């Protein structure tokens, strides 16, 4: 494996930083990247989605600064709150030749405070207009409003089948669960059709449930040798599971090395790559001189996963994006072909987990970070 790391500067000035970048490879080899600015003095206080296209050979973005999309900014609601579609994952849908972005929505009130009370949350999506370089206002995936009252597909990878169907993971709770104050989310995987304009649910898989802490969230799915694999975030560990049909998964297993030792991933996303005839997982973990990083979310690692045991093969582990003092945990993975893939990550410049003291981002910079966006090109 060869790793080529491409660094993109963001003109960081200390008030906002770009977070949660994710990419999709276009037919001409260029990489379409979405990201969002985050207010450093807030807690998960994000603003509208911005995009850029990086040259598939040099990975230099053009144009710069990033392009804002009016339809993907915050929207004022009649009751004074604001709603924003966010946590998008872009995918180039080969069957229709369309760039689709899917995610979910978040609400704010009281001057940028996340609204956590009983409120419907939906899976949002929008389709890129390549002629104008714009996105229309988001649409919403129609689901049963009682069972899927608060659910979304933010941050998760999906699989496009040969017929164009999408195997799309979502997570959330029912209306009854949310009103009862239950906060451990479950995961379900959907089979959806997409005709280039509208995303529709065709089948719903069995729920994956973890009855502790906040449950499972931010799932990602991939397909390898005819089987489907899912990775799941939880507060205390990462989990993996597999399926024959993409909808009904075996019982999830904690993320471990082949000797049974815990990998050390927790409360952070994981994502997949398939390349060189092997199955790969990208993740963060404890134990790499990284206790100073929030939730040990740097560096980013890649390692091969045994598709039978679902164990991570320790000897294959490599660092793909280095630890420079800022967390890297909200990232994206995408295959170019069976020999190449990309990982897109940015340096999240909040040193701690909550609202920062003014200037706390300087602690990240002491280790060398500057809110760069990295595109790691993986050659299998």
Q: Give the tokens for residue 325.
A: 């003092």
pLDDT of 354 reads 60
Q: Which of 63-67, 107-111, 325-329 has the highest mean pLDDT?
A: 325-329
Reported as a pLDDT band with limits 50, 70 and 90, residue 43 is confident
Q: Which of 31-35, 178-182, 283-287 has the lowest mean pLDDT?
A: 178-182
Evaluate whether 228 touches 195 at the Cβ level (below 8 Å): no
Nearest to 45 by CA among 132, 108, 122, 101: 108
Nearest to 311 by CA among 262, 246, 379: 262
The domain ranges of the chain are 10-278
pLDDT of 108 reads 92
Decide if pLDDT at 338 tops 60: yes
Evaluate whether 170 touches 152 at the Cβ level (below 8 Å): yes
pLDDT of 179 reads 84
pLDDT of 135 reads 98
C-alpha separations of 146 from 169, 212, 354 in Å: 18, 23, 32
Helix (H) or strand (E) holding 1, with range, is none
Fold adopted by 10-278: Neuraminidase (2.120.10)
Reported as a pLDDT band with limits 50, 70 and 90, residue 127 is very high
Decide if pLDDT at 229 tops 90: yes
Q: What is the mean pLDDT of residues 242-250?
A: 98
Decide if pLDDT at 356 tops 60: no
C-alpha separations of 292 from 29, 65, 79, 296, 354 in Å: 37, 31, 41, 7, 15
Nearest to 167 by CA among 209, 220, 109: 220
Reported as a pLDDT band with limits 50, 70 and 90, residue 65 is confident
- Beta-sheet pairing, 340-346 with 373-379: antiparallel
């Amino acid at each position: 494996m060869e790793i080529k790391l491409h660094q993109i500067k963001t003109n960081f000035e200390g008030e906002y930083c770009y977070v949660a970048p994710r990419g999709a490879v276009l037919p001409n080899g260029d990489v379409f990247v979405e990201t969002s600015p985050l207010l450093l003095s807030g807690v998960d206080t994000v603003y509208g989605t911005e995009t850029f296209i990086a040259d598939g050979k040099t990975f230099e973005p053009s144009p710069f600064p990033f392009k804002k999309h009016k339809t993907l900014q915050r929207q004022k609601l009649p009751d004074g709150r604001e709603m924003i579609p966010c946590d998008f994952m872009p995918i180039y849908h080969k069957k229709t030749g369309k760039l689709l972005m899917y995610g979910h929505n978040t609400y704010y009130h009281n001057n940028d405070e996340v609204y956590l009370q009983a409120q419907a949350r939906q899976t949002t999506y929008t389709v890129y207009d390549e002629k104008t370089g714009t996105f229309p206002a988001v649409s919403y995936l129609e689901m049963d409003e009682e069972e899927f009252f608060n659910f979304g597909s933010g941050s998760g990878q999906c699989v496009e089948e040969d017929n164009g169907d999408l195997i799309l993971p979502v997570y959330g709770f029912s209306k009854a669960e949310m009103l009862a104050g239950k906060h451990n989310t479950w995961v379900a995987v959907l089979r959806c059709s997409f005709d280039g304009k509208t995303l529709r649910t065709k089948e719903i898989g069995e729920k994956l449930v973890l009855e502790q802490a906040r449950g499972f969230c931010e799932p990602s799915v991939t397909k390898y040798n005819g089987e489907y694999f899912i990775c799941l975030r939880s507060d205390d560990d990462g989990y993996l599971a597999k399926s024959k049909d993409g909808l009904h998964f075996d019982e999830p297993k904690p993320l471990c090395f082949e000797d049974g030792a815990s990998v050390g991933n927790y409360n952070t996303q994981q994502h997949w790559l398939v390349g060189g005839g092997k199955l790969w997982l990208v993740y963060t973990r404890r134990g790499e001189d990284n206790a100073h990083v929030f939730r040990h979310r740097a560096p980013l690692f890649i390692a091969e996963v045994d598709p039978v045991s679902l164990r991570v093969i320790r000897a294959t582990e490599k660092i793909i994006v280095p630890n420079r003092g800022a967390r890297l945990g909200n990232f994206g993975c995408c295959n170019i072909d069976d020999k190449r893939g990309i990982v897109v990550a940015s340096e999240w410049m909040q040193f701690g987990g909550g609202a920062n003291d003014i200037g706390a981002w300087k602690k990240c910079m002491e280790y060398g970070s500057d809110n760069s966006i990295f595109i790691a090109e993986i050659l299998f």
